[in-house]
Structure 1
Amino acid sequence: MSEERTEISSLGEFGLIEHLTKNIEHQNASTILGVGDDAAVIDHFGKQTVITTDLLIEGVHFDLMYTPLKHLGYKSVVVNVSDIYAMNATPTQITLSLAVSNRFSLEALEEFYDGVYVACEEYGVDLVGGDTTSSNKGFVISVTAIGEVAPDQFVKRSTAKPNDLICVSGYLGGAYLGLLLLEREKKIFLETKGVQPDLENRDYIVGRLLKPEARRDIIEFFEKEKIVPTAMMDISDGLSSEVLHICKQSGVGAVLYEDKIPVHPDAKEFAYKLEIDPTACALSGGEDYELLFTLAQSDYDKIKDVNGIRVVGYVTEAAEGAHIITRGGNKHQLTAQGWNAFSK
């Protein structure tokens, strides 16, 4: 029995938006007016507003051969709220715009929106607007996230200071290894008729790519412990690239220690199977959506025993440059080989 398929064109643009957004319930007092008017109205009651936008393009940022639409909807929200958390702020609203070709049915878009709504509920954000249009080919997603922060509590990339600790949340490199596995299985599937993909029960690395999570828990921990990082950003392009961003914008140098960089045992094991270096995956992989932040040394006692936060190095004077010290004690210049949206 074939699945039901409703052509998007049968609804028209306004009918489509109304259909996909008819059950929205607002979660934030700051959302005064949402979907259904010419513009949304938001009042953050004296707090400062943080805004970020991301584009996700089929064939550049995701491959629908192995990315379920519900997961894609979820991830589209997560990658944006992660940027809000990276400012030490709380996400409150998103807008979502799509360009879709006629190869997508209404049911396919409903599946995508299901993922969007699950993420909105998980992170306490309201979908308050957006746009839909047709695309000649492929699927284009644009999400804008809006957040709030107490006056002057936002954290920039440009304010790290020499002798600060360099810290990361969670594990790094897993999403990149998940991508390698899925790309390998896609290639085999396309080249060998009848062969079904074998993901080897590697749920951890596949999940890190297809359904990442943003680190709200870390921001809540900072608030509880009255910690304000000296600089922060999320890790979307690999640790080395992000550390170099902070170094450049803060006018500082850095030292990282290879043996301090956290890689999950499942990711390590798969990297060894592929005969690649797990540290290289963490440094250059990307899409982990963990937080990279610098702290004053006076905050060390507050974070030293916290599960999920690791000190991986320290900030130096700019003249010393940015380096990594290997397990063997060798010192190498840190280079950015992270994922580049313009490299394809």
Structure 2
Amino acid sequence: MREVDLIKRFASLFPAADLSDDAAIIPFSDTNLILTMDMLLEGIHFDRRWCDAYSIGWKAATASLSDLAAMRAKPLALGWSVGIRPDDTEWTLEAARGLADCCARFGCPVVGGDTNRSDCAAIDVVALGTSDHPSRRSTAQAGDALLVSGPLGASLTGLLDLRKHGRTASLTPIHEAHLRPIPRLDFARHETAVHWSAAMDISDGLSADLPKLCAASGLGAQVEPESVPVHPGAKEYALQNDLDPLMIALQGGEDYELLVASSNPDPLIAAGWIRIGQLTSDHGIDWGGVNPPEGYDHFG
């Protein structure tokens, strides 16, 4: 069963929940609380042979802060739970430092958590934010431009290189992109965010995440593959290793860039966004003659 199918079955059990967005929207007083949760598991999301504890803590925070960014939310607080082996105390403290530093950088206090014993390391994060006008995946319109907040593919090539060569003393930009990604809260807070008609973050890869936005809005898309921005380091790595840079950019997950739809893209482009296509009334996605592999699926 694919992850999207499992989520659909969850939705039938939780009728009060809208599971189509990056986070839950909870009306509260004169604003909205935005609630999101993410889990990282050893052996699934990270490998200690090349991923240090500090980076795991940083990435765990980024995953949830990125969801808040996609919802145009201001971070309010973050809590975390960790499952560890009894001899993992120092590893856990270093992961906590990474999580704390990421949260401090982006103005989100860590307010508590829980610990438990586990055969493998597991970190679960819950983040809370506020948004007067949260973005949804389901509110795009046919004809809206599709834009991304930055180049893609760096995290995947960083992972491929770490798997191939192991961890070295100096980290290259693609290693940094994989180990310590940056949530794009800068764009969520920018004045041009009012021009988003729909949004989500790119955590599973553009080829996996764009279909989710299209499905939520009941639309299709026309992608201009020549416009998809490939991270320079990802392009260099791909060409050196006989890989297709465009496929890397389309498939690569954990870039944590934002994908938005907009009926008025010019202010976004002026602020640094890159237009990659537009939404259509037809169902299905036209990738412009390329056939990208599906992005990451936890159960794929």
Q: Structure 1 length normalisation: TM-score?
A: 0.76
Q: Deviations over 1:116-166 (max 9, x none)?
A: 11111111111122110101x21011000100001xx11111111110000
Q: Distance in 2 between matches of 1:278 and 1:178?
A: 13
Q: Distance in 2 between matches of 1:132 and 1:228?
A: 41
Q: Deviations over 1:32-74 (max 9, x none)?
A: xxxxxxxxxxxx7632100010110000001111111111111
The DSSP-based 3-state class of the residue aligned with 1:294 is strand
Aligned to 2:140: 160
Shift of 1:303: 2.1
**Residue 173 of structure 1 is aligned with which of 143, 153, 171?**
153
Shift of 1:170: 1.0
Shift of 1:302: 1.1
Kept in 2, the 8 Å contact 1:86–1:232? The answer is: yes
Aligned to 1:238: 205
**Residue 143 of structure 1 is aligned with which of 120, 125, 128?**
125
Shift of 1:202: 6.2
AA matched with 1:170: G
Shift of 1:282: 1.1
Q: Distance in 2 between matches of 1:167 and 1:313?
A: 7
Over the aligned positions, Cα root-mean-square deviation in angstroms equals 1.8
Q: Distance in 2 between matches of 1:52 and 1:111?
A: 24
Shift of 1:301: 2.6
Gapped runs of 5+ residues in structure 2?
1-27
Aligned to 1:212: 181
1:128 aligns with 2:91: no
AA matched with 2:112: G
Q: Distance in 1 between matches of 2:62 and 2:147?
A: 21
Query: Residues 71 and 226 of structure 1: is their aligned pair in 2 closer, same or farther, counting only changes over 3 Å?
Result: closer
Q: Distance in 2 between matches of 1:219 and 1:305?
A: 15
Aligned to 2:22: none
Kept in 2, the 8 Å contact 1:241–1:335? The answer is: no
1:51 aligns with 2:47: no
Kept in 2, the 8 Å contact 1:79–1:289? The answer is: yes
1:323 aligns with 2:286: yes
AA matched with 1:98: V
Q: Structure 2 length normalisation: TM-score?
A: 0.86
Q: Distance in 1 between matches of 2:184 and 2:207?
A: 19
Kept in 2, the 8 Å contact 1:177–1:205? The answer is: yes
1:279 aligns with 2:246: yes
1:310 aligns with 2:274: yes
Q: Distance in 2 between matches of 1:141 and 1:121?
A: 18
Aligned length: 274
Query: Residues 113 and 202 of structure 1: is their aligned pair in 2 closer, same or farther, counting only changes over 3 Å?
Result: closer
The DSSP-based 3-state class of the residue aligned with 2:270 is coil
Percent identity between the two aligned chains: 33
Q: Distance in 1 between matches of 2:186 and 2:60?
A: 19
Query: Aligned runs of 1:191-230 on 2, under 5 Å?
Result: 203-221=172-190, 224-225=191-192, 227-230=194-197
Query: Residues 226 and 310 of structure 1: is their aligned pair in 2 closer, same or farther, counting only changes over 3 Å?
Result: closer
Higher relative contact order at CA 8 Å, sep ≥6: structure 1 or structure 2? 2
Aligned to 2:261: 294
